[in-house]
């Protein structure tokens, strides 16, 4: 079963969302003790070479957020995995220490 990671951002510059297949995930990286970055390869439609999403976390909890995502990828029976959805009320997130999308969902 193919699985997807979902990110939705709601901030002052508009609303961005991405639902990316796990098989396009290149890396999950701890950028600092309070930020995690996700990088996906080209989404196959020619609009960009990669998609990047950064998530701010509670200080010292970045590894816990990555571990929760990895665990969901390995064990979830649901193919749709919400990493963070700021459009939902209340905000839906994979781990309580995932705070918000830092910046936007970037296609570069």
| pLDDT at residue 21 greater than cutoff 80 | yes
Whole-prediction pTM: 0.89
Q: Is 47 exposed, middle or buried (0-12, 13-18, 19+ CB in 10 A)?
A: exposed
User: What digits encode the pLDDT tens for the residues 61-108?
Assistant: 999 999 999 999 999 999 999 999 999 999 999 999 999 999 877 777
Cβ–Cβ under 8 Å, residues 58 and 51: no
């Amino acid at each position: 079963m193919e699985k997807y990671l979902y990110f939705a951002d709601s901030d002052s510059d508009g609303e961005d969302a991405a639902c990316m297949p796990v098989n396009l995930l290149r890396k999950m990286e701890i950028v600092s003790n309070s930020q995690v970055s996700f990088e996906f390869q080209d989404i196959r439609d020619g609009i960009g070479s990669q998609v990047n999403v950064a998530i701010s976390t509670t200080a010292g909890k970045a590894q816990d957020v990555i571990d929760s995502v990895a665990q969901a990828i390995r064990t979830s029976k649901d193919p749709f995995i919400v990493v963070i959805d700021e459009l939902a009320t209340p905000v839906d997130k994979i781990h309580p220490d995932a705070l918000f999308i830092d910046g936007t969902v970037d296609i570069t």
